[in-house]
């Protein structure tokens, strides 16, 4: 009883915060509510015993998405209030509200009518996990049973990066990515940037390594590593890389390319993506580690944005 009361309160809060994020008066408030919303949804995932998803939601859904939105908000400062946008006209608004409510209701009705004992693929996963090479069922699905999805997903990230870079000025091509950062020496950011990275680095590496048996994995670990890299870059510990740096590009695709290579090698063992049971653990761990590094760098570059720096001659 107490349990479901907690769930009810949490869900009510999630809906309230989502409402504030969607309809908040000004953009900044909306973004802040969105980040809070992401963190509360992560708690919901813990309640649904989906710890891997909770980690991904907190790190990517709330964290990185929030950073992206806040970064864009910062660029909106020069826009007239009149051109910041508003709501669509009232009659349209009413139609949209009705359609959205209808869809929510329809999904709700469908959910209530579902077989309450539906097991999904739990039995199939349990029956085959012994051959997957790992103990964490989520990792088994991501890197073995449905590895093809995960390969394509890691490529989606790279495509997004190419798309973001395509938005650079022609003249900025070959420059360092992102906007010039100015950091006050010995300021808060710089001291944070010095102390946090080692801790973050350890946590990130732990998550990648733990993914085979416990919650964690390449995407969650990679996100934490990306945060470490971003913080260090913002603190001025290293200059952002150049967009045409060959090593940078190689590090972005190293993970997906290793993944693809292992997938193709599988044809020697019986078909694409086949991992022989005795080698599976080693191959999955190798893919996870390299993939996590590539993901970390790609995510960092996605947040930094296209090259914009105008080089000042020294």
Partner 1 sequence: MMTWASGWLIYGLTGATLIGLGLFGFASHTNLLRRILAFNVVGSGIFLVFGATGFRVPELGADAVPQALIITGIVVALSATALAVSLITRHASLSGSATLPDDDREDR
Partner 2 sequence: MPSSLALTAIIGAPLLGFFMTIVWSRAAAVVASLTSMVVLVAAVFLAVSVSAHGAVLTSLGGWDAPLGIELAADGLSVMFMIVSGAIVLVVGAYAQHEFVHPGTETRSGFAFWPLMLVLLAALNGIFVSRDFFNLYVCFELLTLSAVAMVTLNGKTESITAALRYLLFALLGSILYLLGAVLLYAQFGSLDMGVIGQSVSSSGAEILAAGLMTAGLALKTALFPFHGWLPPAHSGAPPPASAMLSSLVPKASYFITIRLWFDVMPELAGNPLTLALGGLGGAAILYGSLQAIVQTRLKMVVAYSTVAQLGYLFIVFPLAGGDSAAQPWSAGAWTGGMLHALSHALAKSAMFLCAGLFIISARTDDLEALRGIAQTMPMTAFAFTLAAISLLGLPPSGGFIAKYLMLTSAFASGGWIWAFLILAGGLLAALYLYRPVRIMLSLPKQPGQPFKPISRWWQVAPLVLALGAVFLGIGSNEPYALLQIGRPVAAETGL
Residues numbered 180-239 forming contacts with partner 1, rule: CB under 8 A: 217, 219-220
- Applying CB under 8 A, the span of 32-40, 58-66, 220-228, 251-259 interacting with partner 2 comes to 251-259
From the list 43-51, 199-207, 263-271, 293-301, the region that binds partner 2 by CB under 8 A is 263-271
Q: Which stretch binds partner 2 (CB under 8 A): 9-17, 170-178, 234-242, 293-301?
A: 170-178
Under rule CB under 8 A, residue 271 binds partner 1: no
Per rule CB under 8 A, is residue 144 in the interface with partner 2? Answer: yes
Classified as helix, coil or strand, 294 is: helix
Q: Taking Cα atoms as reference points, which of 215, 108, 233 lies closest to residue 176?
A: 233
Using CB under 8 A, pick the residue from 1, 120, 186, 314 that binds partner 2. 120
Q: For tokens 């309450």, what's the residue? A: 116
What's the rounded Cα separation, in Å, for the pair 180 and 185? 15
What Å distances lie between residue 253 and 62, 151, 309, CA to CA? 25, 11, 24
Q: Which is nearer to partner 1, 15 or 286 (CB)?
A: 15
CA distance 174 to 230: 20
Pick one of 101, 131, 267, 310: the residue that binds partner 1 (CB under 8 A).
101
Q: How far apart are CA 233 and CA 81, in angstroms?
A: 32
Q: Which of the listed partners (partner 2, partner 1, none) does 180 bind, with a CB threshold of 5 to 8 Å by partner kind?
A: none
Which of partner 1, partner 2, none does residue 9 bind (CB under 5 to 8 Å by kind)?
none
Q: Residues with Cβ < 8 Å from 130, sequence gap 6 or more?
A: none
Tokens of 283: 């191959």
* Per-residue binding letters, 147-176, with partner 1 (x by CB under 8 A): --xx--xx-xx-xxx-xx--x---------
- Alpha-carbon 34 to chain mean position: 15
Q: How many CB atoms neighbour CB 207 within 10 A?
A: 26
Residues that bind partner 2 (CB under 8 A): 106-107, 109-111, 113-114, 118-121, 124-125, 128, 144-149, 152-153, 155-156, 158-160, 162-163, 165-170, 173-174, 244, 246, 249-250, 252-253, 256-257, 260, 263-264, 266-267, 270-275
């Amino acid at each position: 009883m107490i349990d479901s009361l907690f769930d009810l309160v949490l869900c009510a809060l999630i809906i309230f915060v989502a409402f504030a994020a969607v309809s908040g008066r000004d953009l900044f408030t909306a973004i802040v509510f969105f980040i809070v919303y992401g963190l509360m949804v992560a708690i919901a995932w813990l309640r649904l015993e989906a710890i891997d998803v909770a980690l991904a939601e907190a790190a990517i859904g709330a964290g990185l998405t929030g950073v992206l939105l806040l970064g864009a908000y910062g660029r909106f400062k020069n826009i007239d209030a009149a051109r910041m946008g508003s709501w669509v006209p009232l009659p349209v608004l009413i139609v949209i509200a009705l359609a959205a409510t209808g869809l929510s209701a329809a999904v709700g009705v469908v959910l209530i009518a579902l077989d309450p004992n539906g097991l999904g693929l739990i039995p199939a996963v349990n029956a085959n996990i012994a051959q997957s090479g790992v103990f964490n069922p989520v990792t088994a699905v991501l890197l073995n049973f449905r590895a093809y999805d995960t390969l394509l997903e890691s490529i989606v990230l790279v495509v997004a990066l190419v798309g973001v870079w395509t938005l650079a000025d022609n003249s900025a091509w070959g420059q360092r990515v992102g906007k010039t950062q100015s950091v006050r020496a010995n300021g808060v950011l710089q001291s944070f940037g010095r102390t946090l990275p080692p801790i973050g680095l350890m946590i990130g590496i732990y998550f990648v390594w733990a993914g085979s048996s416990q919650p964690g994995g390449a995407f969650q670990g990679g996100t934490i590593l990306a945060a470490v890299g971003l913080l260090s870059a913002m603190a001025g510990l290293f200059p952002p890389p150049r967009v045409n740096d060959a090593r940078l590009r190689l590090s972005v695709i190293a993970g997906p390319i290793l993944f693809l290579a292992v997938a193709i090698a599988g044809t020697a063992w019986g078909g694409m993506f086949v991992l022989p049971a005795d080698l599976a653990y080693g191959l999955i761990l190798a893919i996870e580690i390299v993939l996590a590094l590539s993901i970390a760098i790609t995510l960092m570059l996605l947040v930094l944005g296209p090259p914009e720096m105008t080089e000042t001659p020294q």
